[in-house]
Amino acid sequence: MKNTHIIFSLTKRLIGVIFLVLNYLCYGLMVSLAADTDLSATERVVYPVLVYALSWVFVIVGIYLAGPELIAKFKEYFILVKSKLLKNDK
């Protein structure tokens, strides 16, 4: 029973990380859609905006599935960067 719980947890975290990677791939897709000359001007704006919205869904679902450890690590990095920026401002 405990072994299946570990496998489920690892699978959930792996899927979360895959969603986070998909988020980064969305940015390349947005650039390629915006630069595509076969699309009309409206399509070159609307499609990247839709992909951007989808990338936020990937981020939220990815962080939720990846687990609290990943969120804690993001907070740790954010606090570290924030403290370095505030020290440089003085």
Q: How far apart are CA 57 and CA 45, in angstroms?
A: 19
Alpha carbon of 22 to those of 54, 73, 90: distances in Å? 10, 20, 38
Tens digits of residue pLDDT in 48-58: 999 999 999 99
Give me the mean pLDDT over the 24-28 stretch. 92
Residue 39 DSSP class: S
**Confidence at residue 54, expressed as pLDDT on a 0 to 100 scale:** 95
Residue 72 buriedness (CB in 10 A; 0-12 / 13-18 / 19+): exposed
Domains of the chain, by residue range, sit at 2-89
Q: How far apart are CA 6 and CA 24, in angstroms?
A: 28
Q: How far apart are CA 16 and CA 26, in angstroms?
A: 15
pLDDT beyond 90 at 9: no
Of the two residues 89 and 25, the one the predictor is more confident about is 25
